[in-house]
Amino acid sequence: MRVLLKRGHWLAMVGLLAACSTAPPPAPAPAPTSGSSAPAPAAAPIERENARWQPAAWSDLPGWGADTPIHAWPALLQSCAKPAPAWTAACASAKSLADPTDARVRDWLQRTLQPFRVTAPDGNGDGLITGYFEPLVAASRTRSKTHGVPLHGPPAALGARRPWYTRAEIDALPAARAALKGREIAWVADPLDALLLQVQGSGRLVVTEPDGKSRTVRLAYAGHNDQPYQSVGRWLVERGAFTLEQASWPAIKAWARANPGRVSEMLNANPRYVFFREEPLADPAVGAVGAQGVPLTPGRSIAVDPRAVPYGTPVWLDTTEPQLPAANAARAAGGAPPAARPLQRLVLAQDTGSAITGAVRADYFWGWTEGAEDYAGRMKQPLKMWVLWPRP
């Protein structure tokens, strides 16, 4: 598995729950015309390693007519830069689509691809979607009273000792500290910012250089200490900080603010320690590279279990957006919170993560702009999903 963004993802953090290819589907009859509601008569179920794909009609996709698939088209073309064998002809056709508009993209999708409902091998089509994002964290090149938490590149002898030192040992043992001396990429102010970057697997740093100037760089995953991942959220639940249902990144942050003397104890409950490498951020509008090896697109990229859904596959999501604090406050006050907004859209399977396992399982990439952390940290929604697969 080639994973450039190696994430634990939010679900692993709060503790509620770590690629293969298949032959193309059996040859269906000629594709239906645009807007047809019937699947191709000869389409047959497809068995994946841990999923079953059931042929579906376009009319089975909730909200299909309301989405704007042109917004997913750049992500699809990104995936076509590294197409799976079954996608060679479809990607060539996509690249040749002249003057793509929403109507032309929709027509191309319906002529070229066949929808399949994704279920578990036992036929269960209900699943879960969480969210992740690319953190933006202020950092300094030099250690100071305000910036005292290091972000490390991998030690030179990382592979010579397996597993490497635990998180607690890195703080306590002179040999571990000596191995990391000079490997500091930058320093951040809050240990939870460092944990956040480690759980997400990548992020952006606004770095203050020694001359006082600031620049934004990308922090990319470069390895870990081969220690097992343990959820700090689960650790807090087990100690009565909040219930499993209340577990979220905002809840973890609130506990840390209320218990500053126990933050190290909480962090050390997770022995895994992630190392990074710095990369230039040539284009701030381009996302980090996902497991498929292509940049992620906010709102149009998801992480999947590649045993169920191959990288580069268009996926139709049927879920809702998470409820933010205003809705929760209305509920606590006895009022009626606003109804959850539907999230029904076309996305591309372009990433994976250690907690993203199972057939109907996705992690939704919210990007890096303001509000992304709030949505990602609270996203834990029921999910139904369909894949769109090329017709021969």
Sheet bearing 184-188, strands edge to edge? 149-152, 184-188, 136-140, 203-208, 214-224, 274-280
DSSP string, 193-239: HHHHHHHHS-EEEEEEPTTS-EEEEEEEEEEE-SPPP--HHHHHHHT
Of 271, 275, 264, residue with least CA distance to 151: 275
Query: What pairs with residue 385 in β-bridges?
Result: 317
Residues 289 and 202: beta-carbon distance below 8 Å: no
Supply the pLDDT for residue 245: 83
Which phi and psi (to 5°) does residue 205 adopt?
A: -115, 130
| Contacts of 282-285 spanning 24+ positions with Cβ under 8 A | 284/216
Residue ranges of the domains in the chain? 14-23+46-131+294-390, 133-280
Residues 123 and 52: beta-carbon distance below 8 Å: yes
Q: Is 384 exposed, middle or buried (0-12, 13-18, 19+ CB in 10 A)?
A: buried
For the chain, helix, strand, coil in percent to 5 are 30, 25, 45
What is the distance between the alpha carbons of residues 132 and 249, in angstroms, rounded to a whole number? 11
Supply the pLDDT for residue 81: 97
**What is the gyration radius of the CA atoms in the chain, in angstroms?**
22
Q: Is 263 exposed, middle or buried (0-12, 13-18, 19+ CB in 10 A)?
A: middle
Supply the pLDDT for residue 7: 45
Same fold? 14-23+46-131+294-390, 133-280: no
- The first and second tokens of residue 23, run together, are 């032959």
Supply the pLDDT for residue 333: 52
The domain made up of 14-23+46-131+294-390 has a fold known as: Barwin-like endoglucanases (2.40.40)
Residues 79 and 297: beta-carbon distance below 8 Å: no
Supply the pLDDT for residue 177: 96
Query: What pairs with residue 137 in β-bridges?
Result: 205
Weakly modelled stretches of the chain, pLDDT under 70: 1-42, 326-337
Residues 227 and 272: beta-carbon distance below 8 Å: yes
What is the distance between the alpha carbons of residues 226 and 164, in angstroms, rounded to a whole number? 6
- The first and second tokens of residue 79, run together, are 């995936």
Residues 362 and 356: beta-carbon distance below 8 Å: yes
DSSP string, 245-293: TT-SHHHHHHHHHH-GGGHHHHHHTS---EEEEEEE-S-TTSPPB-TTS
What is the distance between the alpha carbons of residues 80 and 77, in angstroms, rounded to a whole number? 5
Supply the pLDDT for residue 336: 64
- Please give the single-letter amino acid code of residue 323: Q
What architecture (CATH level 2) is domain 133-280? Answer: Beta Barrel (2.40)
Supply the pLDDT for residue 151: 98
Supply the pLDDT for residue 327: 45
Supply the pLDDT for residue 56: 97
